[in-house]
């Protein structure tokens, strides 16, 4: 009889879930229930808790769409959340139990959106190895531009020149508690005009999340003569400062506003972090890259890390039994 059991998340598990997230080796504030549930009306939650002899040993933040499970479509990254004691053998048994559970509940496919390694406190590639064993299909690969702040990174001449233009135009940077001016004046108009889209988070939602996670979500704006000209929304975790949104008005190249802002962030405000994550420059589900955007990010010294997305046939759980000799 298996030592493991899998249970669907229920609100009565909230404290247990959040306590596990707080000490897991590969988690961030995005996995707390107060973050996951800000958009609960958009997703059919199918998050799982995995127990070994009644002790919680892993979490799978997830949602259901038709007869497939996704780790979680409303989050930037996901996968199996593990504690610091987790080793490969136990992790394989945990994942095998998850696949058995899903298969027995009529689920055909599990889609995994892995967490980039820089967000993990300890090595945490167990799931990537299991994807290989399961013959999981790689359905997408994004390229993230990441700056290792502890390295001897070099700033390009273009970014330095932009910073000089900003100082010439007397730009100033301010951290703000509210998002109104950035969302309404810069971000929403830019996304609408350039891409015909809207921010992933509405103004109401980002305000709600800021209220729930005031130390993790921060807004930095750039002003010229008291008028906002650029800004970025930072999601701050233990190891990483991530620019969730970056945008500026049409004068950004003339003013050097985004160069000025991000040099301040990496040189001063977040200099004690391990990494600064500029995010992806991908389009078309990872198949294309915005060359100009990538050039700008790499001008700060950022280089490429990848994030993989996998599709798993849950009926193949027996493949995990054949690893061990």
Residue 280 pLDDT exceeds 80: yes
Q: Are residues 253 and 125 in the same domain?
A: no
Is 145 inside any structural domain?
no
Give the model confidence (pLDDT) of 263-275 as tens digits: 999 999 999 999 9
What pLDDT does 263 receive? 98
Residue range(s) defining the domain that contains residue 134: 4-140+309-322
Q: What's the domain count of the chain?
A: 2
The yes-or-no verdict on residue 89 having pLDDT over 90 is yes
- Average pLDDT over the chain, rounded to whole? 96
Size (the chain), residues? 325
Cβ within 8 Å of residue 41, ≥6 positions away: none
Please, are residues 18 and 12 in contact by the beta-carbon 8 Å criterion? no
Instruction: Tell how far CA 245 is from the center of its chain.
Output: 12
Q: How does pLDDT run across 120-134, given as a tens digit for each residue?
A: 999 999 999 999 999
Based on the fold, state whether residues 43 and 87 are members of the same structural domain. Answer: yes
Q: Is residue 293 part of a domain?
A: no
Asked if residue 122 belongs to a domain, the reply is yes
Q: What DSSP character marks residue 78? A: B
For the cut 70, the answer to whether the pLDDT of residue 1 exceeds it is no
pLDDT value of position 2: 66
State mean pLDDT over 190-198.
Answer: 91
Burial class (CB in 10 A: 0-12, 13-18, 19+), 197: exposed
Judge if 44 and 64 occupy the same domain.
Answer: yes
Q: What is the pLDDT of residue 119?
A: 96
Both tokens of residue 25? 């080796």
What integer is the mean pLDDT of 66-88?
A: 95
> What value does the mean pLDDT take over residues 286-301?
97
Angle at 311 between CA 308 and CA 317, to 5 degrees: 120
pLDDT given for residue 61 in this prediction: 98
- For the stretch 4-54, pLDDT in tens is 999 999 999 999 999 999 999 999 999 999 999 998 889 999 999 999 999
End-to-end Cα, the chain, rounded Å: 21
What pLDDT was estimated at residue 39? Answer: 87
What digits encode the pLDDT tens for the residues 215-257?
Answer: 999 999 999 999 999 999 999 999 999 999 999 999 999 999 9
Q: How far apart are CA 88 and CA 234, in angstroms?
A: 33
Q: Are residues 131 and 20 in the same domain?
A: yes
Q: How far apart are the C-alpha atoms of 1 and 138, rounded to whole Å?
A: 33
Mean pLDDT of the 283-311 span: 96
- CATH code, 129: 3.40.630.30
pLDDT > 70: percent of the chain: 99
Whether residue 279 is contained in a domain is answered as no
As to burial, measured by CB atoms within 10 angstroms (0-12 exposed, 13-18 middle, 19+ buried), residue 62 is buried
pTM score of the predicted model:
0.94
């Amino acid at each position: 009889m298996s030592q493991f059991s899998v249970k669907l998340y229920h609100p009565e598990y909230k404290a247990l879930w959040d306590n596990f997230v707080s000490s897991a080796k590969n988690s961030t504030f995005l996995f707390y229930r107060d973050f996951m549930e800000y958009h609960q009306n958009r997703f059919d939650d199918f998050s799982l808790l995995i127990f070994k002899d009644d002790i919680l040993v892993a979490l799978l933040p997830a949602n259901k769409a038709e007869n497939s499970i996704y780790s979680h479509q409303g989050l930037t990254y996901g996968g199996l959340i593990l504690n610091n004691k987790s080793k490969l053998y136990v992790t394989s048994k945990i994942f095998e139990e998850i696949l058995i559970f899903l298969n027995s509940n009529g689920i055909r496919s599990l889609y995994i959106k892995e967490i980039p390694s820089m967000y993990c406190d300890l090595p945490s590639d167990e799931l990537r190895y299991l994807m290989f064993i399961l013959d999981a299909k790689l359905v997408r690969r994004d390229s993230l531009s990441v700056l290792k702040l502890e390295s001897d990174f070099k700033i390009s001449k273009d970014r330095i020149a932009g910073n000089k233009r900003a100082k010439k135009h007397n730009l100033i940077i301010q951290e703000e508690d509210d998002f109104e001016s950035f969302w309404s004046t810069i971000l929403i108009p830019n996304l609408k005009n350039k891409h015909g889209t809207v921010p992933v988070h509405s103004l109401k939602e980002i305000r709600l999340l800021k209220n729930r996670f005031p130390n993790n979500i921060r807004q930095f704006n750039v002003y010229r003569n008291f008028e906002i000209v650029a800004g970025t929304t930072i999601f701050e975790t233990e190891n990483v400062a991530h620019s969730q949104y970056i945008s500026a008005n049409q004068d950004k190249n003339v003013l050097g506003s985004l160069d000025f802002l991000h040099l301040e962030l990496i040189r001063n405000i977040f200099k004690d972090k391990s990494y600064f994550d500029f995010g992806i420059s991908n389009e078309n589900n990872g198949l294309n890259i915005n060359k100009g955007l990538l050039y700008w990010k790499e001008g700060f010294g950022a280089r490429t890390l990848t994030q993989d997305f996998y599709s798993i046939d849950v009926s193949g759980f027996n493949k995990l039994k054949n690893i061990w000799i």
